[in-house]
Structure 1
Amino acid sequence: MPFHYTDLFSHPLWFVCTMFLALVTRAQRRSSWVPRACPVKLTGKTAIVTGANTGIGKFIALDFARRGARVILACRNEARGTAALQDIRQCSGNQNVHLRLIDTSSLESVRKFAAQILQEEKELHILVNNAAASGLPRGITPDGLEVSFATNHIGPFLLTNLLLDLLKKSAPARIVNISSVNHWRGKVDLSHFHGDNLTYRMDSVYNHTKLHNIIWTNELARRLQGTGVTANSLHPGVVMTEVMRHYNWLVRLIFNTIGIFFFKSSEEGAGSAIYCAVAEETEGITGKYFDSDCSLVLPAPEARDPAVAAKAFEYCERLTAKL
């Protein structure tokens, strides 16, 4: 009889493993690098944060606003984006925060957003690709892409490529791609982009997309050498966010119950992304992967293979060019 993820909750080892993970995560809740202790100002700088209406993205955007940046909240939902906009303006005292709509699962939406940015903005100094979802049901987008790959990888890939010239013009500039330690359980199979050869169990598809995030970042950094634009990826930690909103109620209940006591808050989870985007000590660093404690670490071996990176990057280029 095939194994299904719901079988985990009836297994005696489930509780032990979950509590062990929680205890390990608890020890990593707070980074030695604290964003509010960093004196860097972003006055005169422009930053875009995708998925900025909630969770990690909202706190990244709030931090940038507090530093005086012009911040563009790139959100899918207008109502929730407007609420976040008002909250960030009020909390930061910075009125130069703006909402622009984007759905990273739609290449048409990504192109429309990028065109608007290129028309409105003269400079772009920070791009944080944060928007992502885990546990999305099996589905194919109108572009013919598997929905998780479109949302978590192809959309951000296209967005970044469309904004590259503006980033180069504004150099020094930084691209920050939020991945996950779950990439260690991901695999590279280019047929996945179209929904083939995928197993939909827990976060399996999400893991594949997060591996591609790092592979893409590394190749992008190589191609950007000498331009003044850096690109890095990171693991924010195990964070209490809405990334798991697509799981069934039991998984969400368990995750949220344990998370209250042991997992990072969204504000704490934003730390490593803010570190990559603004810290003086990360200036000039590119093509690297940071953990939730803002430390440089090695990603999975497949993420460090330059041949795999070049092949995957070129495939995504061809894919987005013809769609």
Structure 2
Amino acid sequence: MSFFRNTIWFMKGLKEYTKNGYLSASKNFCEKDLEVDVSGRSFMITGANSGIGKSAAIEIAKRGGVVHMVCRDPKRGEDALNEIKEITGSQNIKLHQLDMSKPNDVLKFTKEFETSGEKLNVLINNAGCMVNTREVTEEGYEKNFATNTLGTHILTTGLTSVLSKYDDPRVIIVTSGGMLTQKLNIDDLQSEKLSSFDGTMVYAQNKRQQVVMTEIYATKYPSIHFSCMHPGWADTPAVRSAMPSFYEKMKDRLRSAEQGADTAVWLALIPNIKQKPNGEFYQDRQVVSKHLPLAWTKSSSQENEELVKKLDEMVKSLPQV
């Protein structure tokens, strides 16, 4: 079954996820959707110092939004901050240092932001990692899971109280079409039972988890619009470092970071987001299926709820700030 899923997915990717796929899809875009002024609205973007996150920060800053850049590396974050200010002419950009693989730090960050009095209308969960050998963090979590799933969960749920105070709140999770090859597995969240560790597969499983989390959040926090999106196969520093062989084979077909960021920017900026389906998976500004045909990747509502329950239990086990 995994061979079938991977083959169908790759063929789909060659058609839809490349730059040609973007150019084809973009023929149906409405240009006026992004002709907006979002002055006074506040946006938080994780992993905002490079790739898709940086591209999203630039597009939002160009339109007057206040941008909170959340970055792991303070030097790279500062360099990106200065570059974005120079490109956009905006001074409404703020830098926060945070490593999303450290749950204690993420929880502390949400508490501090909540009490800071800062406004927040839109959260874009973009930061992620693909570690190709099994690493365990100081807090005892497998690093891909800690960053992609647990960190995203802590940040999102921790900021819902801030988001819900303001008009038209939104949360966008940058996930991956690679999740289409995976069925949710709640019995091995830490990838401890694998006969051999495959970083690409673990990453795809994390991205499936994010899609499920988006569904649950949309039900649990109905005043906030939740969505997840696939950026396509984009040429970013993360792809070059984590998937060098894939990059070398596909580099001439990859989307630009700007093209990869387009749907996240669209979801963050378009007016009347509540007219769009909540809790869905988007690609090139359209809701698309969360499953490949005949791939048997659907999980039950009980399994989906169990995932979030386990994540909540992990959060409760952290030292409370």
* Matched residue, 1:148: 144
What is the distance in 2 between the residues matched to 1:316 and 1:159? 12
- Which whole-Å deviations, capped at 9, do the CAs of 1:21-68 have from their partners, x for residues lacking one? 556524313342377861122110111000000000001111111111
TM-aligned CA deviation for residue 179 of structure 1: 0.8
**Structure 1 runs of 4+ with >6 Å offset:** 17-20, 34-37
Q: Pick from 225, 235, 238 the counterpart of residue 240 of structure 1.
A: 235
Q: Say if 2:127 is the partner of 1:131.
A: yes
Task: Return closer, same or farther for 1:166/1:93 CA change in 2, 3 Å cut-off.
Answer: same
Structure 1 residue 303, shift from structure 2 partner? 5.6
Task: Name the residue aligned to 2:58.
Answer: 62
Equivalent position of 2:168 in the other structure: 172
1:277 Cα deviation after fit: 1.2
Does 1:40 find its partner at 2:33?
no
**Cα deviation digits, residues 180-225 of structure 1 (max 9, x gap):** 1110122322343333223422511000000000000000001112
Instruction: Tell me the SS of whatever aligns to 2:235.
Output: coil
1:121-270 correspondence runs (5 A): 121-198=117-194, 199-225=196-222, 227=223, 229-244=224-239, 246-247=241-242, 252=244, 254-270=245-261
Q: Report deviation, 1:281.
A: 5.5
Say what the alpha-carbon RMSD is for the aligned residues: 2.4
User: Does 2:273 correspond to 1:277?
Assistant: no
Aligned to 1:89: 85
Cα distance in 1 for partners of 2:138, 2:30 equals 42
Equivalent residue number for residue 29 of structure 1: 22
Q: What is the SS of the residue equivalent to 1:90?
A: helix
Unaligned runs of at least 5 residues, structure 2: 1-6
- Counting matched residue pairs gives 301
Deviation at 1:120, TM superposition (A): 2.8
Would you say the 8 A contact 1:134–1:206 is kept in 2? yes
The structure-2 alpha-carbon separation of the partners of 1:192 and 1:141, relative to structure 1 and needing over 3 Å to count, comes to farther
- Aligned mates of 1:21, 1:234 — CA distance in 2: 15
Gap change, CA 1:303 and 1:179, over 3 Å in 2: farther
SS of residue paired to 1:100: strand
Name the SS for the 2:225 alignment partner: strand
Once the two structures are overlaid, the 10-residue window that deviates more, 178-187 or 211-220, is 178-187
Q: Does 1:308 align with 2:303?
A: yes
Using structure 2 for the length normalisation, give the TM-score: 0.86
Q: Of the candidates 76, 101, 122, which is equivalent to residue 97 of structure 2?
A: 101
- Structure 1 regions of 5+ residues with no counterpart? 1-13
Please tell me the residue identity of whatever aligns with 1:28: G
- For 2:31 and 2:250, the matched residues in 1 are separated by 22
Residues 114-169 of structure 1: CA distance to partner in whole angstroms, max 9, x if unpaired? 23322334321000000011244201122221110001110010011111100111
Q: Matches of 1:303 and 1:127 in 2, distance apart?
A: 27
User: Residue 33 of structure 2 contacts residue 271 of structure 2 at CA under 8 Å; is this kept in 1?
Assistant: no
Q: Paired residue for 2:4?
A: none
Q: Deviations over 1:61-87 (max 9, x none)?
A: 111111111100000000100011001
Q: Which amino acid aligns with 2:310?
A: Y
**Alpha-carbon distance in structure 1 between the residues aligned to 2:234 and 2:32:** 19
